Amino acid sequence: MSPQLRVLLIEDSEDDALLLARALRHGGYEAAIERVDTPDDMAAALEQHEWDIIISDYVMPQFSAPDALRLLQNKGIDIPFIIISGAVDEETAVAAMKIGAHDFISKGNLARLAPAIERELRDAQNRHDQRQAKKALQQSEIRFRELFQNMSSGVVVYEAVDGGSDFIFKDLNWSGELIDKIKRNDVLDQKVTDIFPGIKESGLFDTLQRVWSTGEPEYYPAAFYKDRRIEGWRNNYVYKLPTGEIVITYDDVTEEKRSEDALRAERKRLFDTLEKIPAFVCLQAQDYSIRFANREFRKVFGDPEGTPCFAIMQGKDEPCEDCPALSVFESKTQLVWELTRPNGRVYMTYGNYFGDMDGQPLVLEMGIDITEQRLLNDQVQAYSGQITQAYEEERKRIARELHDDTIQVLANLGMEIDLLTASSHKLSEDQIHNGLEQIRSKTDDLLTGLRHITQALRPPMLDELGLIFALQWLSDETSAQSGIGIQVQVKGSERRFSPDRELLLFRIAQEALSNVRKHSEAAKAYVNLRFYSEKLVLSINDNGKGFKLPDKTKAGAFHAGGLGLIGMRERAKLLNGNLIISSEFGKGTTITLEYSE
């Protein structure tokens, strides 16, 4: 099928137009021709349609080829323009070509028309393609320039000079001007070593030379740059363009580095603090690894390096079921749980969600050893029960003594008084006197017994005469009851304490001597009081058989030692004192209380 050709023909002769149409068909073209012969008609045709080629006679009554060329050029339209004329000299043809005609063909040589059209259409397409390419290049350059200027990173283009011994500025974007506090126009064609005199010391200059030499891009990580004008941290990415120019894209990361340094310092302060606290602390990751462990953790569990938490903390080969740390990861809220070690020690553990400075989620676990507290709670509970029982026993004892001794004696006294009264008229004066003397003697014995009972409850000399006299009385009474030789020794400047403090001190000594009397099988015992300027030391020691102290780490250990030991410990706590109990089989027992005022 013949190619379709849209032809705008500028011709006043219809016959010549027919000859032209025939020549086009002979040349292989199926032409759609519109003929015009005035400027207005040509202008209208150009506005209404698109044309592949314009063919024009040179001169016509109302129009000419040069006028048509000027009209076409004024409209800025690039269409091949061929002049066909019958009687034009060579000089005229050359002049027409100079003003824009693409070819000049004689009407007597129309066989040349088809090849000329083919050539001009091809050239027109090339010109069109070039214009499009140029336009695309211009648009690309505009986009590049906009991108170049509006990048948040600084971008600088260098050209190597002197064989790569230095580099000069070829371009710089706005961000680069802001970061480096320079103006593009001030640095163009200037050497980088003149603008940045510290570039060699920073190490970036070596990277520039290396990339220029090898063509391989390099990332130059955050480095500190400083000269008289600026200072700060920069990240740099260096690469080479096909033109041989070197490009650096860079960012000012000074604030980020300061923030990182501040975070790092804060983290160190945190870890230094965690290292010193008397509770185990660790940072656990979601893969069960331990990222940080303080001194107490290492003391309790060992070094966690390379060991998952379930292995080092629980001695297991796989993760624990219902792992509380995983629950903290999921909920990001604090959880509290008890961790029991294989050795029986119990830790109250607090888990808190913790975001590391690199954004990695962690759980901060802190465990407080509550073994002693738990045992102390058991002790207090047991002590409370035993105290209640002891009170009841003491009430029973007092009631029994009152019933068996005091009440019986009072009853007998009442009967004897009744008998003496009833038979007084039969008795002599001496008999009545003897009867009253017997009643008086029994009354004195009764008073002595009541006095012993009240002194056992709270000796009156403690309030009246003080701790030393009360301890001497207690020692004498215990020695009289047990046969153990007990001595009271006092050193230092004697002084009184508040009544409640003296009572606590007395009860501790009383309980200690009670244990000596009941359990020690000792021959001798000593009660020592040493007065210092700011404290008192009370010690009770014997030469008896001694005993094995209970293990504090085992449940029930405190009350395993008996109610007496528990009572002494509790009273020492009320004094804010330190009670030390030492004993060894065959070497006796020593109980020491240090009380600071």
Whole-angstrom CA distances from 396 to 278, 386, 406, 450 are 48, 15, 14, 16
Question: Per-residue pLDDT for 553 more than 50?
Answer: no
- Does the predicted model carry a pTM greater than 0.75? no
Is 498 or 451 the better-scoring residue by pLDDT?
Answer: 498
271, pLDDT greater than 90: no
- Of 292 and 448, which is predicted with more confidence? 292
**Nearest-CA neighbor of 506 among 540, 533, 553, 557?**
540
pLDDT of amino acid 556: 45
> Can you point out the beta strands (E) in 79-195?
81-85, 103-106, 154-161, 166-172
CA atoms of 435 and 438, how far apart (whole Å): 5
Residue 460, CA distances (Å) to 452, 453, 505, 512 in order: 11, 12, 15, 20
pLDDT tens, 391-404?
A: 556 556 566 655 55
Lowest-pLDDT range, 155-169, 428-442, 521-535, 568-582?
A: 428-442
For residues 390 and 324, which has the higher predicted lDDT (pLDDT)? 324
Question: Using 50, 70 and 90 to split pLDDT, how confident is the model at 452?
Answer: low
Show Cβ contacts of residue 200 under 8 Å, excluding neighbours closer than 6 positions. Answer: 193, 206
Q: What is the pLDDT of residues 307-323, one digit of tens each?
A: 998 898 888 889 888 88
pLDDT digits (tens, 9 = 90+) for 512-528: 998 999 898 999 999 99
The top-scoring range by mean pLDDT among 201-210, 454-463, 550-559 is 201-210
Give the integer Cα–Cα distance in Å for 510 and 518: 12
pLDDT tens per residue across span 233-247: 999 999 999 999 999
Residue whose C-alpha is closest to residue 155's, from 134, 172, 177, 136:
172
Q: CA nearest 116: which of 6, 24, 15, 18?
A: 24
Instruction: Give me the pLDDT at residue 196, please.
Output: 95
Distance, CA of 580 to CA of 574 (rounded, Å): 15
Q: What confidence category does residue 151 fall into, taking pLDDT thresholds of 50, 70 and 90? A: confident
pLDDT value at residue 447: 73
Contact yes or no for 239/189 (Cβ under 8 A): no
Q: What is the mean pLDDT of residues 374-401?
A: 63
CA atoms within 13 A on the CB side of 137: 6
- Reading the block at residue 594, the tokens are 């240090």
Using one digit for the tens of pLDDT, what is the confidence trace for 47-60? 999 999 999 999 89
As a whole number, mean pLDDT of residues 573-592 equals 91
The pLDDT value recorded for residue 559 is 43
Overall average pLDDT of the 179-198 stretch: 94
For residues 140 and 151, give the distance between their C-alpha atoms in angstroms, rounded to a whole number.
Answer: 16
In the prediction, which pLDDT does 404 show? 58
pLDDT band with cut points at 50, 70 and 90 for residue 95 = confident
Q: How many CA atoms lie within 13 A of 164 on its CB side?
A: 15
Burial code (b: 16+ CB inside 10 Å, e: under 16) for 210-227 equals ebbeeeeeeebeeeebee
Q: Which amino acid is at 36?
A: V
Strand partners, 85: 106
Classify 183 in phi/psi space as left (phi over 0), alpha (psi -120 to 50) or beta.
Answer: beta
Burial (0-12, 13-18, 19+ Cβ within 10 Å), 369: middle
Residue 552 confidence (pLDDT): 53
pLDDT for 524: 93
Average pLDDT, the chain: 86
Beta strands in 395-514 (DSSP E): 485-491
Q: Provide the token pair at 488.
A: 């009271």
pLDDT for residue 248: 95
The pLDDT of residue 402: 59
**Res 413: pLDDT:** 73
